[in-house]
Amino acid sequence: MRDRVTMRPPTRRRRPLHLLILALLALGLSACGDAEQNALLPAGPYAQEPHDLIIPVAIIALVVFVLVQGLIIYSSWRYRERADDDGSLPEQVHGNTRLEIVWTVIPALILAAIAVPTVQGIFSQMAEPDDDFMTIEVIGHRWWFEYYYPDHDIYTANEMVIPANTPVRLQMTATDPARDASQGVIHSFWVPRLAGKQDLVPGQTTFLNLQADEPGRFLGMCAEYCGLSHANMRIRVEALDDGDWQAWVDNQTSPATVPDEGTLEARGRELYGDLGDRQACASCHQVWEGDGSRSPGQGPDLTHLMSRQEFAGAIHDLDAENLRAWLADPESMKAMNYELDGIGMPNLNLTDDELDALVAYLLALD
Amino acid sequence: MSSTTTPKLRPTKETGVLSWLATTDHKRIGILYFFTTLVFFFLGGVESGFIRLQLAQAEQSVISEDLYNQIFTMHGITMVFLVVMPLSAAFFNYLIPLMIGARDVAFPRLNAFSYWVYLFGGIFLYSSFFLGGAPAGSWVGYAPLHATEGMSMGFYAIGIQILGLSSLAAAVNFITTILNMRAPGMTFMRMPVFIWMALVTNFLLLFAIPVIAVALFMLQFDTLYGGQFFQPGSGGDPILYQHLFWLFGHPEVYIMILPAMGIVSEILPVGSRKPLFGYAAVVFAGAAIGFIGFGVWAHHMFTSAIGPVARSAFALSTMFIAVPTGIKVFNWVFTMWGGKIRFTTPMLFSVGFVSMFVIGGLSGVTHAIVPHNAQQHDTYYVVAHFHYVLFGGALFGLIAGIYFWFPKVTGKLMSEKLGKWHFWTWLLGFNLTFGPMHMSGLLGQPRRTAVLPGELGATVELYNLLSSLGVIVLTGSALVFLYNLITSIKRGEASGDDPWNARTLEWMTPSPTPSVNFYRIPTITHRDEFWHRKYAEDESGKPVSIPAGASDDHDSDGDDDHAEEHIHMPDPSLWPFVMCLAFFPIAYGMLYFNPWLFALGALWLVVGYFLWITEPLAEGDDDDPEDADDHAAVGAAAH
């Protein structure tokens, strides 16, 4: 009963304040149709739950903010020294025990009320989803994310494709370059509209649940500082409806296209496997043509490269021009220091002819 | 006796460079701290300028990613370890002895040692810019990223260990001073709140610094000598480093904010001309914050590899710490309530502190909502939060302190007109810079990214542009402050001894304070002793002015015959400075794994140490009345 009395003022103020918050949010969203990385715009239950938790807290915080700032401004104004002051000193008040108790107990009660759903939320966010869920393994590399679908034996990079309206449990770790924990650093997987972030730690496995209620493309970024190109480590999640999802899986599970003999693409395929005394593409990247099992190297799997829209940590559109620039001089396209630490893509000193052939081959990997 | 056998390497002049190198006077060391932090504040400010320049527009690279990463790392290290902490130390140095009625700190030469270690540690860290690049692993220096950053993170690990040594020595010194050297009658509950907060802060340092020392020592081995403490490939644990770092790092937050809280707790009563509301509550809340502050560290790791039980426990402790913080805020506001507030510049900054700190406190509570913390963590929302606490909080409070005690140090007033310009532009620039970051963080902008991704949208770009414009306002504001500081030192209006009608002991001494603080140590009968020597209370509790000289307590200042007394003042000593120079060969020796350089440094350290301890604290200071006359004469001359 007493609880209800203390909690009443915020409740009574909720409606106008709620409107105010919504107005502020609207202001925040007004200019951006491209706000696909917006933490205030949940698009699935694992983003919705924290959102529903923070809104009442934000309202309480706003009430406290207004009260305290109001009190500060009021007492500054009301008790300022006036021009006609008689020079006498104010009454020397030393304190008031009753007030001390009030402003100790009320905040404590408010916090206790917030604490209960917070703890519930912590456990429900981290638990395995109740419904049938799909597992995707996520590996954080410097500076790109790799995804492995154990149910389908699919490898892909940067862009994670998921079925809409299905819980997905990410099983995550971090390694690089040679899938060796001794080389990894910590990353954090964050797609704000689908879930909060969770760190990927080398040598350990962490989990994150996410789900998209509707088909759509959701943006994210690595959120734990991971060195030189941390800013260039982006994430895209593509949620597809059932039909598109099945088509995507069928495509990904089929072997890569092998170009016809004598074409430019075929020349590119040769170079891909053998660059003479230079490091061949195939020593780091896999193009699975149906033989043996899929086992990716240090770099992203390229079997169905052109099924993705972006590359290089999802900072560049995947087209002929960008691919060519990337192959010619990777460090001009993304901050890396391969000579120094072997992280990222080396400059292979490709000739113009080699570039033509390789780009043609890569563009054929649909 | 020994003074006749030791070679006379002791500078005796009271002015000149040598006198500063050899000073053991807590007031002069405080001044050294102050000006050094000003230099580092300038450097940290320039770094923030580069950060905001880079992020003013989406997808632009004014500086390379590599340089950007170095600069944001050094900005954090500089502002935390080289500005806010030592600026608090400047106040501790100058004020602790004066406010407790002592003539110096307990260990004057150790005090000099602390300063020189701080300065040399800072120079060592900054030398990295010229020696292959500054640390680029962020101020937290997380493992295992550090190992891949090579030499630069060696500067980080060694440099901050050296700075920690400075803080540790200072903590021992200040704790001893406060516990043992209070004037007779100054019980714990009569200590000024600033002294209380200084005591809590230095206990926090005493317990927190060893933790980071351990972490950095291990980090140093991992980074430079192939150690594997935090390397997962060989069974090390990177999360261990996070625990160690934040077990230091969170108390560190309170190490930075509590001194400012102490300062504000002194200024608000003077400005309102009323005693602090709820003295005991403010003191115990401060102590409670100190204790609970050791139990909340993992809230910096809510998205790290820790489980739901740990997340829940630290969520609860984090919410809990809001209670004592709230108590303080309400007591400050009610100190103003019913007063007659004179809005001088120190008072404006103090009220600004309370107001801005409330914003940082409230956004802090939202971090404890762990499920949503996963959205906020490592975004600009967090950057906004901790700048509201450390800039809007700590720095506002410290600046209030600068304006407030400037007359104490110089005998002059800073310009009120310029001070008000400084305050209002500072408040505007601060909010313009950090206010929009709340939104840009929630709209998806992660921190520590060398480019602002264009895909975040036009609104986030706009917020970033506002933040960058805010830095321009802050820069102008800082120049106003600097101009005010310099011109006021040169030709400020004379302040008199008690310009604010203050309440505490330091204002009983002449301004600027002579080298001997108190010729006669005052006997304390009240909290706010000085006030009670000026005012008695009538029947109704109204203060009535006591005519000069009518106080029941004898006014000792300016009483010449006391100068005849034997006053122990520590003589200057060059040895702390000379000995601390050894940290350069030691640090570079460890960094470049050069045993000869290291050995040279170690030998230098040991020799310097022996010269230090074999030198008497004061020439002929063996309680021999004849020798002591010299000192009294020097003191009287200064007087």
A279/B contact by beta carbon, under 8 A? no
What's the average model confidence in pLDDT over B484-503?
94
Distance from CA of B46 to the nearest CA of A (A): 21
Beta bridge partners of A147: A138, A156
Least confident range of A5-14, B153-162, B196-205, B453-462: A5-14
> B233 pLDDT band (50/70/90 cuts)?
confident
Q: Are B453 and B59 in contact (CB under 8 A)?
A: yes
B142/A contact by beta carbon, under 8 A? yes
What's the average model confidence in pLDDT over B142-152?
83
Cβ-nearest to B238 among A94, A202, A337 = A202
Q: Are B376 and B366 in contact (CB under 8 A)?
A: yes
A353: which residues sit within 8 A by CB, 6+ positions away? none
For residue A19, is it within any domain? yes
Q: Is the domain of A331 the same as that of A257?
A: yes
> A8 pLDDT band (50/70/90 cuts)?
very low
Complex prediction ipTM: 0.90
What's the average model confidence in pLDDT over A277-286?
92
Which residues between 149 and 168 in chain B have a beta carbon less than 8 angstroms from any beta carbon of chain A?
A: 149
What pLDDT, on the 0 to 100 scale, is given for residue B638? 42
Which residues between 26 and 85 in chain B have a beta carbon less than 8 angstroms from any beta carbon of chain A?
A: 64-66, 69
Query: Domain with A64 in it: what CATH number?
Result: 1.10.287
A77/B contact by beta carbon, under 8 A? no
Residue A74 scores a pLDDT above 50: yes
Percentage of the residues of chain B whose pLDDT score is greater than 70: 91
Which residues between 108 and 127 in chain A have a beta carbon less than 8 angstroms from any beta carbon of chain B?
A: 108, 111, 114-115, 118-119, 121-123, 125-126
Which residues between 326 and 365 in chain A have a beta carbon less than 8 angstroms from any beta carbon of chain B?
A: 335, 337, 341, 343
For residue A87, is it within any domain? no
Cβ-nearest to A40 among B148, B442, B460 = B442
Q: Which residue of A has its CA nearest to B55?
A: A231
Distance from CA of B560 to the nearest CA of A (A): 34
Q: Is the domain of A252 the same as that of A145?
A: yes
User: What is the per-residue DSSP string for B362-421?
Assistant: HHHHHHTSHHHHHHHTTBHHHHHHHHHHIIIIIIHHHHHHHHHHHHHHHSBPPPHHHHHH
CA atoms of B548 and B534, how far apart (whole Å): 8
Helix (H/G/I), strand (E/B), else coil: B55: coil
Mean pLDDT for chain B? 90
DSSP state of B515: S
Residue B633 scores a pLDDT above 50: no
What pLDDT, on the 0 to 100 scale, is given for residue B569? 78
Residue B571 scores a pLDDT above 90: no
Residue A35 scores a pLDDT above 80: no
Residue B106 scores a pLDDT above 80: yes
Q: Are B404 and B268 in contact (CB under 8 A)?
A: no
> B554 pLDDT band (50/70/90 cuts)?
very low
B568/A contact by beta carbon, under 8 A? no
Q: Is the domain of A170 the same as that of A33?
A: no
Distance from CA of A276 to the nearest CA of B (A): 31
Residue A30 scores a pLDDT above 80: no
For residue A141, is it within any domain? yes
Cβ within 8 Å, pair B378-A181: no
Q: Which amino acid is at A171?
A: Q
CB-count burial class (<10 Å; 0-12, 13-18, 19+) for B402: buried
Chain A residues within an 8 Å CB radius of B541: 91-92
Cβ within 8 Å, pair A32-B279: no
Residue B321 scores a pLDDT above 90: yes
Percentage of the residues of chain B whose pLDDT score is greater than 90: 81
Chain B residues within an 8 Å CB radius of A190: 446
Position with higher pLDDT, A277 vs A7: A277
What pLDDT, on the 0 to 100 scale, is given for residue A16? 54
CA atoms of A2 and A5, how far apart (whole Å): 5
Least confident range of B332-341, B507-516, B550-559: B550-559
Beta bridge partners of A173: A139
DSSP state of B552: S
Cβ within 8 Å, pair A61-B239: no
CA atoms of A247 and A365, how far apart (whole Å): 16
Cβ within 8 Å, pair A91-B338: yes
Q: Which residue of A has its CA nearest to B453?
A: A231
- What are the CA-CA distances from residue A141 to residues A229, A231, B466, B582 (Å)? 11, 13, 34, 42
Question: Chain B interface, mutation test: which of A73, A119, A120, most B Cβ atoms within 10 Å?
Answer: A119
A240/B contact by beta carbon, under 8 A? no
What's the average model confidence in pLDDT over B506-514?
92
Q: Are B106 and B176 in contact (CB under 8 A)?
A: yes
Q: Which amino acid is at B259?
A: P
Global confidence as pTM? 0.91
Tens digit of pLDDT for each residue in A183-193? 789 999 999 99
What pLDDT, on the 0 to 100 scale, is given for residue B543? 78
Position with higher pLDDT, A31 vs A28: A28
CB-count burial class (<10 Å; 0-12, 13-18, 19+) for B440: buried
DSSP state of A257: P
Question: Chain B interface, mutation test: which of A79, A96, A237, most B Cβ atoms within 10 Å?
Answer: A79
Cβ within 8 Å, pair A31-B446: no
CA atoms of A199 and A188, how far apart (whole Å): 4
> B616 pLDDT band (50/70/90 cuts)?
confident
B442/A contact by beta carbon, under 8 A? yes
| Token duo for residue B588 | 């570079």
CB-count burial class (<10 Å; 0-12, 13-18, 19+) for B406: buried
Q: Is the domain of A120 the same as that of A31?
A: yes
- In the block, tokens 């608000």 appear at B268
A234/B contact by beta carbon, under 8 A? yes
For residue A194, is it within any domain? yes
- The set of catalytic residues of B is 75, 104, 139, 166-167, 250, 252, 254, 265, 299-300, 325, 328, 447
Q: Is the domain of A244 the same as that of A365?
A: yes
End-to-end CA distance of chain A: 66
Least confident range of A109-118, B9-18, B226-235, B357-366: B9-18
Number of domains in chain A: 2
What's the average model confidence in pLDDT over B418-429?
97
Cβ within 8 Å, pair B336-A199: no
> B50 pLDDT band (50/70/90 cuts)?
very high
Cβ within 8 Å, pair A114-B319: yes
Q: Is the domain of A112 the same as that of A159?
A: no
Q: Please name the residue ranges forming H helices in B546-582.
A: 575-580
Cβ within 8 Å, pair A224-B308: no
Q: Which residue of A has its CA nearest to B311?
A: A122
| Token duo for residue B107 | 């260990």
Cβ-nearest to B278 among A64, A95, A108 = A95
What pLDDT, on the 0 to 100 scale, is given for residue B632? 47
| Token duo for residue B391 | 């800039």
Query: Domain with A238 in it: what CATH number?
Result: 2.60.40.420
Q: Which amino acid is at B612?
A: W
Query: Residue A34: how many CB atoms within 10 A of its CB?
Result: 15
What pLDDT, on the 0 to 100 scale, is given for residue A17? 55
Which residues between 340 and 399 in chain B have a beta carbon less than 8 angstroms from any beta carbon of chain A?
A: 340-343, 351, 354-355, 358-359, 362-363, 365-366, 368-379
What pLDDT, on the 0 to 100 scale, is given for residue B557? 47
Q: Is the domain of A15 the same as that of A33?
A: yes
Q: Whole domain around residue A48: which residue ranges? A: 2-79+94-126
Q: Is the domain of A239 the same as that of A337?
A: yes
CA atoms of A327 and A285, how far apart (whole Å): 13
For residue A286, is it within any domain? yes
What pLDDT, on the 0 to 100 scale, is given for residue B637? 42
Cβ-nearest to A94 among B275, B316, B458 = B275
Residue B386 scores a pLDDT above 70: yes
Tens digit of pLDDT for each residue in B234-251? 888 999 999 999 999 999
Cβ within 8 Å, pair B371-A50: yes
Residue A18 scores a pLDDT above 80: no
Q: Is the domain of A193 the same as that of A340?
A: yes
Distance from CA of B319 to the nearest CA of A (A): 6
CA atoms of B100 and B186, how far apart (whole Å): 7
B440/A contact by beta carbon, under 8 A? no
What pLDDT, on the 0 to 100 scale, is given for residue A23? 58
| Neighbouring C-alpha atoms within 13 Å toward the C-beta of A285 | 22
- In the block, tokens 């100058």 appear at B94
Q: Are B212 and B140 in contact (CB under 8 A)?
A: no
For residue A86, is it within any domain? no
Q: Is the domain of A161 the same as that of A106?
A: no
Helix (H/G/I), strand (E/B), else coil: A235: strand
Cβ-nearest to B337 among A32, A79, A186 = A79
Q: Is the domain of A205 the same as that of A115?
A: no
CA atoms of A295 and A290, how far apart (whole Å): 12
CA atoms of B399 and B508, how far apart (whole Å): 23
User: What is the per-residue DSSP string for B228-292?
Assistant: -TT-GGGT--HHHHHHHHHHHHHHHHHHHHHHHHHHHHHHHHHHHTSPPTTHHHHHHHHHHHHHH
A304: which residues sit within 8 A by CB, 6+ positions away? A156, A251, A252, A256, A365, A366
Question: Chain A interface, mutation test: which of B303, B331, B526, B527, most A Cβ atoms within 10 Å?
Answer: B303
Chain A residues within an 8 Å CB radius of B450: 230-231, 335
> B593 pLDDT band (50/70/90 cuts)?
very high
Cβ-nearest to B459 among A28, A75, A224 = A28
> A332 pLDDT band (50/70/90 cuts)?
very high
For residue A331, is it within any domain? yes
Chain B residues within an 8 Å CB radius of A59: none
Q: Are A171 and B347 in contact (CB under 8 A)?
A: no
> B149 pLDDT band (50/70/90 cuts)?
confident
What's the average model confidence in pLDDT over B626-638?
46
Distance from CA of A229 to the nearest CA of B (A): 7
What pLDDT, on the 0 to 100 scale, is given for residue A19? 57
B42: which residues sit within 8 A by CB, 6+ positions away? none
Mean pLDDT for chain A? 89
How is chain A split among helix, strand and coil, in percent rounded to 5? 45, 15, 40
- What are the CA-CA distances from residue B560 to residues A319, B102, B183, B194 (Å)? 89, 19, 21, 31
Chain A residues within an 8 Å CB radius of B448: 225, 230
Chain B residues within an 8 Å CB radius of A103: 326-327, 330
Query: Residue A258: how many CB atoms within 10 A of its CB?
Result: 13
What pLDDT, on the 0 to 100 scale, is given for residue A340? 86
Q: Are A360 and A264 in contact (CB under 8 A)?
A: yes
CB-count burial class (<10 Å; 0-12, 13-18, 19+) for B626: exposed
| Domains, chain B | 26-514+521-555 (1.20.210.10)
Q: Is the domain of A177 the same as that of A118?
A: no
Q: Which residue of A has its CA nearest to B535?
A: A89
Question: Chain B interface, mutation test: which of A93, A209, A237, most B Cβ atoms within 10 Å?
Answer: A93
CA atoms of A217 and B564, how far apart (whole Å): 85
What pLDDT, on the 0 to 100 scale, is given for residue B409? 96
CB-count burial class (<10 Å; 0-12, 13-18, 19+) for B560: exposed
Tens digit of pLDDT for each residue in A121-149? 999 999 999 889 999 999 999 999 999 99
